[in-house]
Amino acid sequence: MASKIEAHGRGHLIHSHAHEENIPGTVNLKAAEGDDTGYGQALFPVPAEDPNDPLQWSNFKKTMILIICSFYSFLANGALIGPSPYIDIWSGEFGITPTEASGLVSYPNLAFGFGSLIFVPMYLKFGRRPVMLFSLLTFAGGLIGASRCTTFEGLMAARVIHGFGSCVCEALPVQLVNDIFFLHERGKRIGYYTVCLCLGTFAALPAGYMLSAGYGWRLFFYVYFAFAMALFILAFFFVEETSYDRNAFAPSSASQSEPEKEGIQEVEKGTQQTDLAVPSRKSFMQTLSLWGRVDSDVPFFATMIRSFTYFLVPQSLWVITTFGINIGLSALAFSYTFPILIVNPPYNWAVTNSGLFSIAAVVGYGLAIPFTSSSDRLAAYFTKRNDGMREAEMRLGVMLPAMLIGPAGIVLYGMTAERGLHWICFFIGGAMNFWGAYFFFSFTLAYAVDSYYANTSEMLIAMNLGKQAISFGFGLKVLEWVLESGYATVMSGIFGGVLLANNLVLLIFMFQGKRIRRFMSETWLAKLHFRSIREVTTH
């Protein structure tokens, strides 16, 4: 079942009569005559009659923005996790313990999460484009600083700077997917972003091989600095401001008495001819402006404070625990333990090969990528069977196999480390875990955005704060825990059990999700969040 959004040229703008019902996450997608459709259903959110509405942009424009933002996520996460093979080297070079050296990975990750508390209100108030460009420059500055550091303290400072500066790449791709794509496209597009986020762990592989080239760990940061500047150039030319006040261009505000007014075009909707005040599309030079859409109504500090209330929203909390536990287990625990395990008996690999565990991530995520659109397709199938009524939970069924396969991978990895099993079991366990994590990364996030229409940006702040704090807690002491209690107890038992418990929450949302949404919609919390909505999704 292919998605079919009809191509729209200069004379055609996308139209839809879809609308949300009284319960957030329940959307009426019945197509009326003349509506553009996706999977045979009306499009939601409903775009404005304006070619400058991001929902009306061409597929090329939208795809370029998604690629650039997703690659930024790949680059930023790779810069954080990639240097993990250098922990032992930094320990010897700076005269510190391996646990202290691992802080050069843990603390930048913490800054990466908490930076959203500053950068997300900034892009709400000053626009997505200027904040993203500033973020890229800060990221690049921290990278070049890290490449030149000669002390532990200096390297820590530079690492925290580039982690803090790049934090916007966690929230912004999801925000942009929400800005420029329709409901039926979000699962697939968030999945593409998730692929890039997850494959950041692949950076440990080239990081290890840079050592064998004789250049040392500094080359890693030089290379990433070059990529960051190249990405800045691409973002400057292709990432247009996506913040848009859709409510300000409602059909009723269109002037019908001044067809001669400059910038007014006559558009055709179906077979009916209607005079609408439709502005001309911005010129290419206008899209390069460094100034975004400044919203003076956004309360900067109130946005920061209000974001903490999203910890009380069940769907948001599930995303927080899902990302936090999986990042703490997959990205940090694996990255910390494998380089140490594989260079010691019974394996005795060379240090330059300690980054090869990234292959497990590539295999696991690679096998999951073909399922990227599966949640959108499953939701479209159930929506059709439900007479055009879309429920947020309709996408969750595709996660059932991953619910068990991911924790099983953690158990296999821990038992391999504890009993000295063949090294291939590390990679099989890791690939299983990464495969399962991909489903939970992609579709819990899409579900949360679908099921609780409030201020998406504030929800993203809470998600990023929570998941980075949880992953920091899991990753900071993982080396001490496994040395004290053993890999079987800590990774197979505790980590595997925690991940399984989190994954089993899927069953609660599948069968009781709508009831939870209905209950939450009647609470004071929903009223507070509704008043703070900045993105208008329909006329």
3-state SS record for 490-506: HHHHHHHHHHHHHHHHH
Task: Read off the tokens for 201.
Answer: 């762990």
Q: Answer whether 150's CB lies under 8 Å from 216's CB.
A: no
C-alpha span between 435 and 364 (Å, rounded): 4
C-alpha span between 454 and 536 (Å, rounded): 10
Q: Answer whether 471's CB lies under 8 Å from 196's CB.
A: no
C-alpha span between 447 and 470 (Å, rounded): 21
Q: CA 211, 231, 68, 107: dihedral to nearest 10 degrees?
A: 50
Q: What is the DSSP letter of 215?
A: -
Q: Answer whether 79's CB lies under 8 Å from 166's CB.
A: yes
pLDDT for the residue numbered 422: 94
539 residues of the chain, pLDDT tens digit each: 444 444 444 456 777 777 777 787 788 888 777 777 877 788 888 888 889 999 999 999 999 999 999 999 999 989 998 888 888 889 999 999 888 888 898 899 889 888 888 998 998 889 999 999 999 999 999 999 999 999 999 999 999 999 999 998 888 888 888 889 987 888 888 888 888 887 887 777 788 777 766 678 999 999 999 999 999 999 999 999 998 887 766 554 433 334 333 333 433 344 344 445 677 888 989 999 988 788 777 788 888 888 888 888 899 899 888 988 887 666 667 877 888 899 889 999 987 787 788 889 889 989 999 998 899 999 999 999 998 999 999 999 999 999 999 999 999 999 999 999 999 999 999 999 999 999 998 899 889 888 875 567 777 788 788 877 777 776 667 777 887 888 999 889 998 999 999 999 999 999 999 999 999 888 888 777 776 654 433 33
Q: Answer whether 412's CB lies under 8 Å from 280's CB.
A: no
Q: How far is CA 172 from CA 129, 132, 197, 264, in A?
A: 10, 8, 12, 33
H helix intervals, 59-115: 59-81, 87-94, 98-114
Q: Which residues contact 348 (CB under 8 A, 6 or more apart)?
A: none
Q: Which residues contact 378 (CB under 8 A, 6 or more apart)?
A: 394, 395, 397, 398
pLDDT for the residue numbered 538: 36
pLDDT for the residue numbered 10: 45
Element holding 192 (H helix, E strand): helix 186-198
Length of the chain: 539
Question: What's the whole-model pTM score?
Answer: 0.78
Beta-strand (E) ranges in 219-303?
A: 267-269, 272-274
Can you say how many angstroms the Cα of residue 414 is from the centroid of all Cα atoms in its chain?
Answer: 28
Q: Answer whether 84's CB lies under 8 Å from 204's CB.
A: yes
Q: Answer whether 108's CB lies under 8 Å from 76's CB.
A: no
C-alpha span between 70 and 216 (Å, rounded): 28
Task: Read off the tokens for 53.
Answer: 């509405």
C-alpha span between 14 and 54 (Å, rounded): 11
C-alpha span between 258 and 275 (Å, rounded): 9
Task: Read off the tokens for 295.
Answer: 């919203």
